[in-house]
Chain A
Amino acid sequence: MHTRTPLHAVTWLIWALAAAFTVQLAPSPVYVAIVIGVCALVVELHAPRTAFSRAFPVILGLAVAFGLFRVVLTALTSHGIGAVWFTLPSFQLPTVLGGFTVGGTIEGPVVLQAAAEAFVIVGVIAAFGAFNACASHYELVQSAPRAFHELGLVVTVGIAFVPSTILSIQAAREADRARTGGRVVRRGRLLRLVIPVLESGLERAVALAESMDSRGFARSTAARGEQVSAWCGLGALMALGGAFIALVGRAGAAALGLSIAGSSLLVLAVFLASRATERVRYRPRPLTGADWLVRGIAVLAPIAVGIAALAGDSSLTWVAQPLVWPSVSVLPLVGTLFLLAPMLVRPVAADAGEPGADAYSTTEAAPATTGARALIGVKPE
């Protein structure tokens, strides 16, 4: 099946997980920077030009913003660790809220260490942002166990609302300015923007729900197996919850027993539900050699970094005190480069997802349309 990405969604998922693990195992800023660079390259090469690939920089920007927020919070609340950069006015929080000091000395090592840790989070988000941009969400739903199909589909539909919501936010901002002839009135603006966006979203959601209903979604009523599976699922949740309480209450044996029971019930629930749902799939995407190649190479990345970690490679982590440049060693470096595996695959030609790029196909469509016109033309009136 010809699609907009050369690799199966599950392959992309494995690649993204490999990248995320690599970043976690090698949190030194050098390796994190390499992984983020690899993600950007992969998106550039493989992401179809849709709203999702355009979202990649936005997602990275959000991750950086969260990271900075974290750095500021840490810098304001951690004190007495290293060299002081400057001092801010400070106050003590009441004991109920933790009793620590906000403000005061802003220290170099604290800021740098927090920044390095935030950078790891940016790395993980970059990996999943790249997955989001490159893989087809629906394909992932199609390959999930059948019991999760309805749930997965609902999530996919939800994700599809993100780009359209971004568009409607832009439209609402513009409409708000247009209303006053270009003059920006700040008072109450949030409300004037949020209500149209939410209401449009709600209208679209209702229309989509009706359309899904009209198209037979959730048509088959719950079969016996599904009912059994639902009870198993409920039982599993209760058992696992009980296990947690037992764990808190330090009843080790009970916790172990309950968690074993809960897990087995969960597996049984998924198995039964998957068997019971009568769902046929349209043209499931087969796995190709390229998929296995990329999977095989990508998993080498965390393995290589993991081996380096076991061997006690000191370049994997970086501490801000004493302040030294992060170092690099060969094995983890080669490891991170394994993540370039998707670059070995030829990207899908750009015309598959782009408006206006189907010049060849408009001529192909022309006879059909002309035929239709001709039929209407001869219809007795």
Chain B
Amino acid sequence: MSAIEIRKLRFAYPDSEPAIDGADLEVEAGEILLVTGGSGSGKSTLLRAVNGLVPHSTGGAFGGDVVVFGRSTRTHRPRELADVVGFVHQDPEAQFVVDQVEADLAFTLENLGTPPAAMRRRVEEVLDALGIAHLRYRAPASLSGGERQRCAIAGALAAGPQALVLDEPTSQLDPQGAEDVLAAIGRLNTDLGTTVLIAEHRLERAGPLADRAVIVEHGKPGVPGLPGPVLSAYPGAPSVTRLGRVLGWDPLPLTVRDARRLAVTVELPLADLPEPASRGDVLVRGTNVRVDLGGRRVLDGVDVEGRRGDVVALLGRNGSGKTTLLRALAGLIGTDRGTIERAGSVAYVPQHPGSMLFAPTVRREVTETLRLLGRRDHGDVDRWLEALGLESLAERHPRSLSGGERQRVAIAAVAVGGADVLLLDEPTRGMDWPSRAALEQAVRAHANGGGAVVLATHDVELVARLATHAVVLGDGDVVADGDARTVLAGSLFAPQVLRVLPPYLTVEEVAAAVGARQ
């Protein structure tokens, strides 16, 4: 029997075009079904329809049927499905009701009226199932993103639902946190047989975990199938899959492990790798920077510089001082020692675009910056909207956009001021592949036009494709500094292509080498 049945589902948010248009999907009991697709494709709406948040919490025009373990969402509200479906939201901050992890886990059970003895046992088991027993007395606000998201999953799981629906649970997390969360989901499925419906961008991690995958486009899920064949046709497929396509491998690999086995037979001439370009004038330079925040030494003697034409990537784990360094370069915080020299103007895009967007349309948001700077010519607005692929969204409300689209709006709104140096804090967080491609293009154009970009990121694939220089921070120090290729080549966390076919960094380089051979 199928656990979740979606039949002829049609749904439109109030006063909008249909978000879901005739969707049919069956999720079998005990499987992990991976849902992917670009922003605005309707995958989030589809997932929210499973536990009845669509239409009960959103309103709008609803047609068709969603039946979850024999209960139709037409007649059951989300709260009446809480014992069969657990729902995990994208934002780890917005799902805790109680300020203590253990008490929060008991929240669902209390609502369901579970007897105290059963409740106690259930909470202990869920703590173990997700490996969060050591966090039980902590306040959710004091946890890291990955820990918080695992606690949220535990909260959804506490009532013992047969199915778990997760809407991009790792999109706000760093790679380590994301890996912990996905590992936990895989284990739940293996150990408890929980049916999992998950939307995810990190296909290289989530792909191997899934039993089947499906791509949602224009409000319609495609035909579900094995993750390999389904995902390999998708433009946002992992780098190794695209590498396999270039080299004509069959079957296409999803993981670095598969790709390595296939790569043994590949012989490529050692093509001319692009030489590191000669560097331009210094635009911003921090020398021996030390910053103490809240009694903690966050940066201790860091040197960093951005020259014309540079894309400098700052790497390092959470709390290693990347954001602090960007804020110091931007002049938003002072340094306790050392100097920051700025030969050009500097602008900073914060990690959460939500903290700056306020205008009613995307275009007004971008124009506003020029107005604040007292400029009259608004010619650059269209240029930046186009550079970041926002023309079609120009009249939309910024808050109605997806995370990746919002991030692009924030970048456009800051960059339009014409700063020579752009400082971007985790620009690809929560971005799907079209957003990411647009961002990469805009960053490259800015650097080639004689500007500099300094970006803090966890995303090594982005660094491989984009960065000219890389600086690795650890515990407030510079651990490695040099041109991006050298720094990445020596790292344990190398990008996928480098791990499969060294010394190539990107699929494009391999493609060039293949082209040279033929």
Q: Please list the residues of chain A having a beta carbon within 8 angstroms of any beta carbon in chain B.
A: 2-4, 48, 50-51, 136-138, 153, 156-157, 160, 163-164, 168, 171-172, 174-183, 185, 191-192, 195-196, 199-200, 203-204, 207-220, 278-283, 352-355, 358, 361-362, 364-365, 368-369, 371-373, 375-376, 379, 381
Contacts and interface: CB of A to CB of B under 8 A. Distances in A.
The 9 A-B residue pairs with the shortest CB-CB distance, nearest first, are A361-B134, A368-B131, A216-B82, A282-B106, A207-B94, A175-B356, A216-B111, A195-B358, A171-B355
A220 B143 contact: no
Interface string B77-104: 1111111011101010111011110110
Interface string B140-163: 011110000000000110010000
Contact of A372 (B94, B107, B109, B183): B183
A179 B86 CA distance: 40
Interface of B: 51, 53, 56-57, 77-83, 85-87, 89, 91, 93-95, 97-100, 102-103, 106-116, 119-120, 123, 128, 130-135, 137-139, 141-144, 155-156, 159, 180, 183-184, 186-187, 190-191, 208-209, 254-255, 258, 327, 330-332, 345-350, 352, 354-358, 369, 372-373, 399, 413-414, 417, 419
B203 to A, nearest CB: 14
Contact of A4 (B112, B123, B137, B369): B137
B355 A168 contact: yes
A219 B417 contact: no
Contacts of A183: 373
A57 to B, nearest CB: 15
6 contacts: A51-B141, A181-B330, A196-B354, A216-B82, A280-B113, A381-B255
Nearest to A205: B94
Contacts of B56: 213
B100 A138 contact: yes
A381 B208 contact: yes
Contacts of A278: 113
A200 B355 contact: yes
A214 B139 contact: no
Contacts of B98: 138, 156
Nearest to B191: A375
B51 A214 contact: yes
A181 to B, nearest CB: 5
Contacts of A283: 102-103, 106, 116, 120
Nearest to B138: A353
B51 to A, nearest CB: 6
Contacts of B254: 381
Contacts of A2: 137
Contacts of A156: 98-99
A365 B355 contact: no
B248 to A, nearest CB: 21
A216 B159 contact: yes
B97 A354 contact: no
A280 B87 contact: no
Contacts of A212: 97
Given A164-B93, A181-B345, A207-B89, A214 B133 contact: no
Contact of B79 (A160, A171, A213, A373): A213
